[in-house]
Structure 1
Amino acid sequence: MHCPYCNEEMHEGVIHGDRYSTKWVPVEKDRGGIFQWFYKGIILGHMGEDVEPVFYCEKCEKIIIDTKGKRDTRKE
């Protein structure tokens, strides 16, 4: 995959999950990690689940994650 910012080749990788779900939450709704269970957002991975594929651009230091097929609790 090529970086949409600089067009360099990106490196494919994985984000490993831990005890909690990994989810994207809009910054204006973020109230800190203590309240994560109550946030509505895009669930990228459940407890102990890895998020993949994830692409990283070393030049731009950007990460891209495809959210197709991920559960979006903001729409529920």
Structure 2
Amino acid sequence: MKLECPYCNTDLIEGFIDSGRYSFKWHEKNMNLIEKFTVFGGEVLSSSPKVLCYRCKNCNKIIIDLNEIP
């Protein structure tokens, strides 16, 4: 299935982001330093370090569908 970038309508490229050996986490902008910069902070979005995403090389955006995270 081909997906288009919602910003510029260019075809998106399917790929993944790898967070190394740690789980994939969400950090809010205003979290305190301990939450931001330690493995203990943040909301775990996936226990896997690899998350499927779609990249637009034209406008340099990455889209992650949280419904596709196992």
TM-score range, shorter chain: 0.7 to 0.9
Could you tell me whether the CA contact under 8 Å between 1:17 and 1:46 is conserved in 2?
no
- Describe the SS at the equivalent of 1:3: coil
Could you tell me whether the CA contact under 8 Å between 2:23 and 2:44 is conserved in 1?
no
Question: Over residues 24-60 of structure 1, what are the superposed CA-to-partner deviations in whole Å (9 max), with x where a residue is unaligned?
Answer: 22111252322x3132x251x325x4211x1000011
Equivalenced residue count is 66
- With 1-10 and 18-27 compared, the bigger mean Cα shift is at 18-27
The 4+ residue runs of structure 1 with deviation greater than 3 A are none
Percent identity, aligned pairs only, is 32
**Correspondence for 2:47:** 46
- Root-mean-square deviation (CA, aligned residues, Å) is 2.3
Q: TM-score, normalised by structure 2?
A: 0.73
Could you tell me whether the CA contact under 8 Å between 1:25 and 1:42 is conserved in 2?
no
- Describe the SS at the equivalent of 1:68: helix
Between Structure 1 and Structure 2, which shows a larger proportion of helix residues?
1
How does 1:1-76 map onto structure 2 within 5 Å? 1-29=3-31, 31=33, 32-34=36-38, 36-39=39-42, 41-43=43-45, 45-47=46-48, 49-52=49-52, 54-68=53-67, 70=69
Q: TM-score, normalised by structure 1?
A: 0.68
Q: Which runs of 5+ in 1 are unaligned?
A: 72-76
